[in-house]
Structure 1
Amino acid sequence: MSAREQLTWEGFGAASRDLSRTIVADGFVPDVVVAIARGGLLPAGAIAYGLGVKNCGTINIEFYTGVGTVLDTPVVLPPELDLAALEGRRVLLVDDVADSGRTLALAVELLHARGADVRSVVIYTKPTTIVQPHYSWKQTDLWIDFPWSWQGSVVEQDAGIAGVG
């Protein structure tokens, strides 16, 4: 097995607090925190708590279909975020990792097109990203095992155990 970056729940807590402090120190005060689902959901919630922001939203974008497998281009999935409601608002866009950066680039483009003042934050940035987020906790070139997703779904696990699939 190749080397992997391991993020623990404790490390996730430290990353979320560190990123929140960095954003506060930078003087950016978001009106809304928007998560890129699914990977950005937990980081967005933790950072929103860290910043004291209660207004949160989600944009659903699919790009990764498995470990190292991707679609040709990122795709926005329903239900769609009400982008018109974000016009003129300060938006903190949150994801778990900027790997290729294509998902982040699409989300930033959609928000900018609606006139939002967007800053992006990720836990990890990879050297391969086409977009540098405003805030990042750590850089790595390894595959990352996040505490919420490294085991896969219980549906997949249970199907494997039962021999179904």
Structure 2
Amino acid sequence: MDNQQQSKAFPVSWDQFHRDCRALSWRLADKGEFTAIVAITRGGLVPAGIIARELGVRTIETVCIASYHDYDDQGELKVIKPIDPKVVGSEGGEGILIIDDLVDTGKTARVVREMLPKAHFASVYAKPMGRDLADTIVTEVSQDTWVYFPWDLSMQFQPPISKDTAG
């Protein structure tokens, strides 16, 4: 990883992620009563659990979408597990809260928005290409930033951004 890529890294600790999920909960608390949460897997699972606790929502459903890619370019999306029709109801998702960890290019968010057009979409983090698809977020990062979630990290040395810090 070169210095340019490294300077766009955004590592998130478990503590920070928990604080950010709680901050998202605070922003959602005055948005109405949610009858269910739909977590976009896999990234939306952890924030959905935290937010469900904070908002007192007992029903958590998942929608499982896979993007087949080579980590440089998001590829074709495939819905592996759709949302249970009993959760969706006949109101187009009204009263449902969709949760994801990150809205990036917006491809996944668009697919889920089509499934639940009246739902409230919330994401902990957002990039500019997908930002308009989320109703509520906590933090926006640049499109070229790579967010490293706590479940992707291990404790190890991180070199400084500037090479002039040695000595």
Q: Secondary structure at the match of 2:24?
A: helix
Larger of the two Rg values belongs to structure: 2
In structure 1, C-alpha distance between the alignment counterparts of 2:111 and 2:153, rounded to whole Å: 25
What RMSD over aligned residues (CA atoms) do the two structures have, in Å?
1.8
Q: Does 2:61 correspond to 1:61?
A: no
Q: Secondary structure at the match of 2:150?
A: coil
Unaligned runs of 5+ in 1: 152-165
- Give the superposition deviation at 1:75: 1.3
Q: Percent identity?
A: 28
Q: Secondary structure at the match of 2:74?
A: strand
- Are the counterparts in 2 of residues 105 and 131 from structure 1 also a CA contact under 8 Å? no
Counterpart for residue 78 of structure 2: 75
Counterpart for residue 134 of structure 1: 135
1:82-161 mapped onto 2 (5 Å cutoff): 82-87=84-89, 88=91, 89-112=94-117, 117-129=118-130, 131-141=132-142, 142-150=145-153
Counterpart for residue 34 of structure 2: 30
- Give the superposition deviation at 1:64: 5.4
Corresponding pairs, count: 144
Q: Secondary structure at the match of 2:120?
A: strand
In structure 2, C-alpha distance between the alignment counterparts of 1:18 and 1:100, rounded to whole Å: 23
In structure 1, C-alpha distance between the alignment counterparts of 2:57 and 2:131, rounded to whole Å: 28
In structure 2, C-alpha distance between the alignment counterparts of 1:43 and 1:81, rounded to whole Å: 18
Which structure shows the bigger proportion of residues in strand conformation?
Answer: 1
TM-score (normalizing by structure 1) = 0.79
- Give the letter for the 2:18 counterpart: G
- Are the counterparts in 1 of residues 61 and 87 from structure 2 also a CA contact under 8 Å? no
